[in-house]
Chains A and B, each alone.
Chain A
Amino acid sequence: MQLITVAGPPSAGKTSVIIKIIEALQDEKLKVGVVKFDCLSTQDQILYQKKGIEAKIGLSGNICPDHFFVSNIQDCLAWAQKNKFDLLITESAGLCNRCSPHIRNVMAVCVIDNLSGVNTPRKVGPMLRLADIVIITKGDIVSQAEREVFAFRVKQANPSAMIVHVNGITGQGAREVGQMFKTSESVESLTDYHLKFSMPAATCSYCLGQTRIGQNFQMGNVRKMDLS
């Protein structure tokens, strides 16, 4: 059983790219399942079902999405094993740019799009910097020069990643990424595995439901800005 974690900013094209990759893998008779992690709502299950892809949805609600991911990933793997998938792909939106669902020794993918601007690769944290594969999307709607500058900036942010351009509409490049997925190491259980990077620290009074504003109501892990 192989596991791939895919992360990327909202609307980068993760779902479209994953669907195209899975279609290519299905041509090779591989059984692929998806777990989509999201916060409030998602319609992606319908998209996956339409393509005959088995998918589960996890909504984190009022819990930090990546904490939610790491508390559930083991069970997701068990679900995939029960269903005898060859490959499980998890999809999550890196909402604060400091989050990353990547796990050591598990193939990690970051999806990022050309339209997000050339400075974005510098702003995205471990989700991009610790990815093994960076998929760049929406290349067909920007100029060749912008594509080249953007890929260069990604390379600067993560010099060791394989960088691939995939078109989420036509699927160009998706087949090729599918071939890379097939080379990932097999995972039987995630117990004792480590995240590639720690989650952002939290636990302050607001985590516990406080809504009032003011010095007196701030407790726990609180950080102050320097406004001097």
Chain B
Amino acid sequence: MWDSLGLMTLKQLFSTYPYAMDFFSSLPNLQQSGECSVAQYFDVIEEDTLQDLGIGRQELLDQFLLFMIQMEKLKEDKIKIQSITILGGNDKNGKPEEIELTIQAGEIVCIVGPTGSGKSRLLADIEWVAQKDTPTNRKILINGQLPDMKCRYSVEHKLVAQLSQNMNFIMDLTVDEFVSMHAESRMLENIEEIKSHIIAKANELAGEQFTPDTPVTSLSGGQSRALMIADTAYLSSSPIVLIDEIENAGIDRQNALRLLIDKQKIVLMATHDPILALMGDKRIVIKNGGISRVIETSEQERKNLVTLTKIDQKMLAIREVLRSGGQIDNILLDIQIT
């Protein structure tokens, strides 16, 4: 690779591989013209400058090549993940789980169980692609097979995106800049288009409007969550999304989940909210650190979901009345409990 890169001029390098600029941005500007070759650029860096940078000449070259190879890899198509399979291990007392559960792309599986029962451990096992090497002795298969274990450490093939209850932004950027930054780190080309999809979708999920110019730090809780879910759906390369309870406030949760499964994500969600739990195709019940059973959502439960959704919408409507300064004198609302 060096043979071809070294001969390129800096100008050619930056126009063929725009991301190469990221690498050079942390190097001194040696007042080289764009016509100078990449090899020349590295040759004329003085020993003192390298000392200041804290790197040796050969290491710098090696890092440059590795950088270019890694960035090219990011563009490669990922192995498509159609399913994950959880092969049972044992609970805290060593009792076997006796379970083999396959979850398909586009499926939602909920995880229920008391605090401290081991829900997070299950999510961690999946994230780590456990191979009987965690305290639960579970084994995780990808597409029915043993996965390439490199995915454990790889940034570009990270399996799991995690949406926790904390969705704070610390960057001092506008929504537009924030999403651009994320899209750039994915090496995408149609950034503008994806950006407008994400912002439109997040606005739809949040209900309360914000613009691309809104600073991310001034988004409300609901807006932040909506933006994060839309961003994960469109921009995260991870095929599995772990959600640690989506709070009720200010977000259309059903629509949010639908977006993720439309994008063929595998959604695993720890929740005690009946609406979310029944939206799942299945739910995993955790007791004493182990999976005690897997319940398929029944027909009757799905019917109940309709009623629960009505109640939820009523609650939302009442909240809306409150928000707009109204009074809640009449609560006897006509929910049809069928």
Contact = CB atoms under 8 A, between A and B. Distances in A.
B228 A143 contact: yes
B188 interface: no
A58 interface: no
Main secondary structure, interface of B, reads helix
Contacts of A117: 170-171
Nearest to B152: A176
Contacts of B53: 125
Given A129-B63, A145-B228, A164 B120 contact: no
Contacts of A176: 128, 152
A146 interface: yes
Contacts of B171: 117-118, 146
A141 to B, nearest CB: 5
B63 A179 contact: no
Contacts of B182: 145, 148-149
Q: Categorize the interface residue count of chain A.
A: 35 or more
Interface residues of B, number: 49
A197 B22 CA distance: 23
Contacts of A147: 162
A144 B170 contact: no
Interface in A92-146: 98, 100, 114-115, 117-118, 122, 125-126, 129-130, 139-146
Interface string B114-144: 0000001000100010000111000000000
B128 A159 contact: no
Contacts of B70: 155, 159
B28 interface: no
Contacts of A140: 164, 166
A226 to B, nearest CB: 13
B261 to A, nearest CB: 17
A155 B155 contact: yes
Interface in A193-211: 197-198, 201
Interface of A: 98, 100, 114-115, 117-118, 122, 125-126, 129-130, 139-149, 151-160, 162-164, 170, 172-173, 175-176, 179, 197-198, 201
